[in-house]
Structure 1
């Protein structure tokens, strides 16, 4: 079911992804881009009402838990990247953690073999959720509005319901057979046992009650009150290991973001336990030695340079992990001298065999069913958030009467060194299960500035492809002068060291370019469109949202210059950019 769901969504997105990009949404006051238009409107309303970007991010996080239940969540976790116009920064780690009773062999049988489905389809797959703790941490430390004000829109959407669009029902209909296996889940996400139809209203009374409890009591109501007890009870009843003590003991971490520079732009991205920011910066710093603009968009020369940089960064990311458990050599990986050394090892006329790069199999990676939202205001304050349940709808189980869908994030750990997770990626000991540990991630909420001014806010779902989605959007804007809409909607390619193959979306490469690269030793695999990026650029890139001297007259442009330009991925049929 999980595979058919992903395939159907890719087909749903494929037609729009192949079309020319529309003009980005322009605004002067503020911009919010999310994977669900109602959540975008919630965030824009908060900014209009005088809230700051963190207030808007918190309100959007709660709203997406209602209107985008496939990936928006209270029962999952993620990362929040914050940058204020005065230069202050913060990175909030609200990722899920392994329960206290977790062990390195919990997904293996007595003979040491990985038990299929145990890390994805059982209550053992559930990590201690971090979303509520993270949103409340951000609001308390960096927000300006009260908790009841920011939860009110989500509570109303859950209590009163919202009308389902075709993309909403596509997700719900395809997951309905899995929902049917649990009466509490079926009661919420099916209509009298049948899949929801377009135009029907999804009402989530139990989730509304949970949100009201959080509104009144904050994170304690979720982790130490009746909600936390209900999650622990549901876990125990389902054969899981999350306890009341695990819930009460969850703590947010505030970390230093990863920083690097690229062609005069400063990049602020995700640090370990995400490998995303480190990999993006390593790739960018390798690419800085090439004139990608002169090479031409998706020319054989550019693709060669980018694939080789991707190959080396994904090879290096294998040793990264939770900083509380693993020593991460981030300083070395982000050193420009190291990037120059890697660049020097790239043959300008041949593909590098991945097997020639020493190292154990790549550390595990998370699912592709994640969501990203990006927020900015006129002053240059910005927030980039990526959070997830792992699979679409996570475990596909709600916890008792809470209305909260639970994650299956434990599959992001290595079930066994050398074994593949549900997405075919191989794990290593660096990402082994341990009590209280956070699994490795590729989530890469990213903020780009130039000379202290906000230039870009970007991120995407996509599992291991998150890194290359985010990277390609940055390159498309900086090196090729695209608007944020063109940069996000452009066809993509992806290389992650192992397997030694380059994945390509439809129309990513011309037949001639592909033949040239095959002659250099590359193998390609055609894939349906992937990712759902959400991005914002500013007038740092020019009046049209791109470099004016490179913008072509037939490309879509906003009708007048704006401070902010927002775009939701055209692969995402229900998201939107909302500005004012």
Structure 2
């Protein structure tokens, strides 16, 4: 995403204004019968059409996910994986884990040289970087248990978009251009994502014939068509031909898993979020529990006191994330301890209101990488069923290689493991052996698809891409709405900070902190560093456009998409 931010910097001035809170934010999309918020206009449209035909939120999620695999190849996928948080109108909740797994031939040292040093880009580029994809299995599990419409009907828009193509706008072309140099190195990718060897341009039509055939096969045969038989064999063979280690047996062994969501309460709101192998729900709930002991509303938005206690809470939550969490099928741990009010009280007792805690002082026995080029969408239907889904290829366009003959871009999720425990990655995250590479294991993630209720009723559906910045992005939008009483668009557009355990720095968007606030934080011992944007929040608020706000007409659903990335729409009816 770094290169993308540079290439599209002129389009994100909305995030850089003269005051900490963005002025004159646009009204959110408002409706009463259904809402879809996603990273691409055509995927949003396809999902909304499902809701209009009477499909439920899970049906629409299947359509949006497959459509994004065609229209948003930088992150939308069937060659990657992710998580889905579901809350049905009758109160049932579910979390579907379709995170990628390491192939059976994977080893803990596969990305190190003979001397134990990490080999640059070995876990981020090329076929060896890919884990076994989970998206198809996850969507199948969700549809079979919670959906209501036939798979073929829901996949038809994606098949049509791939077979007939779609006209690229300026943003579509800019994204594809970002990957052009790597596409040129891989003939199978170049044949699709370059136009006669040159980057695609706005106004041209991108057709993906191989992907259309793959999607049609899945539409007919479901998960079995993807994980067993000719298609799995073709993907595995292409992977091995490119230096990877996938086998047909790896695909046949893959299973999506339904898990119990992480749940917690914050100032009367009930939070339903992602459990391990995502760290997102643990970090979110642990941080909220600590912050509940401070009156953030009285402190004021991005006042030095509020930023200080938020940083201190995040510092401790990320430390627990990095040293304790991993794939629950491999690593035993008690998430209830980290998300309890009693543990939060212990953590608050160690926080000084006057001085920053040096992160090094929080080290403990035990000793990752995570791409931020993910995408998220949020959906609510007329009945009140809700889906919060985050999925990813990890880096933009994943490993930047395509399984020849399938049209499928492969992920580089193996980079989300701790390729060498104790070594900082590109985001400064230091993880331990709990997240070391192992056959069949799922890498730790920060994806945080979240649903919030109030008094038993649906209140918010929220999530974002952003790697290690995902939990902090979700956290700040929630705090903006609940504590600072911002209306939805203001809550999403407001400039953000980010803090984690290591590096010991408060990162901030250009105008997130006033000069006085920066000085006060430095005086407390904090280090500050300006950052570019990382998130693309996709959020739906139910009832009114903000706590205590009046409805817009008769609307009961309000959707907003983060303006920091110049793609995506919020549409309702």
Tell me the residue number matched to 2:165: 161
TM normalised by structure 2 equals 0.97
Aligned-residue RMSD, C-alpha: 1.4
Using the TM superposition, give the Cα deviation of residue 418 of structure 1 relative to its aligned residue in structure 2, in angstroms: 2.0
Contact 1:415 1:421 in 2 (8 A): no
Contact 1:503 1:527 in 2 (8 A): yes
Tell me the residue number matched to 2:13: 15
Are the structure 2 counterparts of residues 6 and 572 from structure 1 closer, same or farther at C-alpha, using a change threshold of 3 Å? closer
The 2-side partners of 1:367 and 1:442 are apart by 10
1:136-194 deviations in whole A, cap 9, x for unaligned?
11111110000110000000111111111111111111211110011111110011111
Partner residue of 1:426 out of 430, 434, 441: 430
Say whether 1:349 aligns with 2:354. yes
Tell me the residue number matched to 1:538: 542
Say whether 1:547 aligns with 2:551. no
Are the structure 2 counterparts of residues 473 and 451 from structure 1 closer, same or farther at C-alpha, using a change threshold of 3 Å? same
The 1-side partners of 2:236 and 2:136 are apart by 16
Tell me the residue number matched to 1:563: 556
Report the 3-state secondary structure (helix = DSSP H, G, I; strand = E; otherwise coil) of the residue aligned with 2:409. coil
Are the structure 2 counterparts of residues 312 and 424 from structure 1 closer, same or farther at C-alpha, using a change threshold of 3 Å? closer
1:330-351 deviations in whole A, cap 9, x for unaligned?
1111110110111121111111
Say whether 1:203 aligns with 2:207. yes
The 2-side partners of 1:396 and 1:360 are apart by 37
Tell me the residue number matched to 1:172: 176
Report the 3-state secondary structure (helix = DSSP H, G, I; strand = E; otherwise coil) of the residue aligned with 2:470. helix
Unpaired runs of at least 5, structure 1: 552-556
The 1-side partners of 2:434 and 2:154 are apart by 39
Report the 3-state secondary structure (helix = DSSP H, G, I; strand = E; otherwise coil) of the residue aligned with 1:436. coil
Using the TM superposition, give the Cα deviation of residue 561 of structure 1 relative to its aligned residue in structure 2, in angstroms: 4.5
Say whether 1:488 aligns with 2:486. no
Say whether 1:322 aligns with 2:321. no
Tell me the residue number matched to 2:189: 185
Equivalent residues in 2 for 1:323-402, closer than 5 Å: 323-359=328-364, 364-402=368-406
1:202-238 deviations in whole A, cap 9, x for unaligned?
1111100100000111111111122211110111101
The 1-side partners of 2:365 and 2:461 are apart by 34
The 1-side partners of 2:70 and 2:40 are apart by 10
Tell me the residue number matched to 1:554: none
Contact 2:12 2:566 in 1 (8 A): no
Tell me the residue number matched to 2:19: none
Equivalent residues in 2 for 1:167-316, closer than 5 Å: 167-316=171-320
Report the 3-state secondary structure (helix = DSSP H, G, I; strand = E; otherwise coil) of the residue aligned with 1:486. helix
The 1-side partners of 2:431 and 2:312 are apart by 22
Tell me the residue number matched to 1:573: 566
Report the 3-state secondary structure (helix = DSSP H, G, I; strand = E; otherwise coil) of the residue aligned with 1:497. coil
The 1-side partners of 2:525 and 2:37 are apart by 39
The 1-side partners of 2:6 and 2:443 are apart by 26
Tell me the residue number matched to 1:528: 532
TM normalised by structure 1 equals 0.95
Contact 1:361 1:426 in 2 (8 A): no
Answer with 299-308 or 65-74: which moved more.
Answer: 299-308
1:41-84 deviations in whole A, cap 9, x for unaligned?
11111111000110001110100000000000000000000001
The 2-side partners of 1:304 and 1:5 are apart by 31
The 2-side partners of 1:361 and 1:414 are apart by 13
Using the TM superposition, give the Cα deviation of residue 12 of structure 1 relative to its aligned residue in structure 2, in angstroms: 4.7
Report the 3-state secondary structure (helix = DSSP H, G, I; strand = E; otherwise coil) of the residue aligned with 1:45. helix
Are the structure 2 counterparts of residues 521 and 361 from structure 1 closer, same or farther at C-alpha, using a change threshold of 3 Å? farther
Report the 3-state secondary structure (helix = DSSP H, G, I; strand = E; otherwise coil) of the residue aligned with 1:266. strand
The 1-side partners of 2:400 and 2:331 are apart by 31
1:396-441 deviations in whole A, cap 9, x for unaligned?
1110110000000000011112223344433321110000000000
The 1-side partners of 2:403 and 2:489 are apart by 38
Contact 2:287 2:313 in 1 (8 A): yes
Are the structure 2 counterparts of residues 505 and 198 from structure 1 closer, same or farther at C-alpha, using a change threshold of 3 Å? same
1:78-120 deviations in whole A, cap 9, x for unaligned?
0000001211011100000000001111111122221111111
Tell me the residue number matched to 1:474: 478
Using the TM superposition, give the Cα deviation of residue 487 of structure 1 relative to its aligned residue in structure 2, in angstroms: 1.1
The 1-side partners of 2:88 and 2:141 are apart by 17
The 2-side partners of 1:5 and 1:513 are apart by 30
Report the 3-state secondary structure (helix = DSSP H, G, I; strand = E; otherwise coil) of the residue aligned with 1:119. coil
Report the 3-state secondary structure (helix = DSSP H, G, I; strand = E; otherwise coil) of the residue aligned with 1:272. coil
Contact 1:411 1:421 in 2 (8 A): no
Contact 1:165 1:574 in 2 (8 A): no
Unpaired runs of at least 5, structure 2: 17-21
Using the TM superposition, give the Cα deviation of residue 365 of structure 1 relative to its aligned residue in structure 2, in angstroms: 3.9
The 2-side partners of 1:257 and 1:333 are apart by 14
The 2-side partners of 1:296 and 1:128 are apart by 46
Report the 3-state secondary structure (helix = DSSP H, G, I; strand = E; otherwise coil) of the residue aligned with 1:118. coil
Contact 1:25 1:558 in 2 (8 A): no
The 2-side partners of 1:418 and 1:441 are apart by 17
Using the TM superposition, give the Cα deviation of residue 6 of structure 1 relative to its aligned residue in structure 2, in angstroms: 4.8
Contact 1:270 1:443 in 2 (8 A): yes
Contact 1:79 1:443 in 2 (8 A): yes
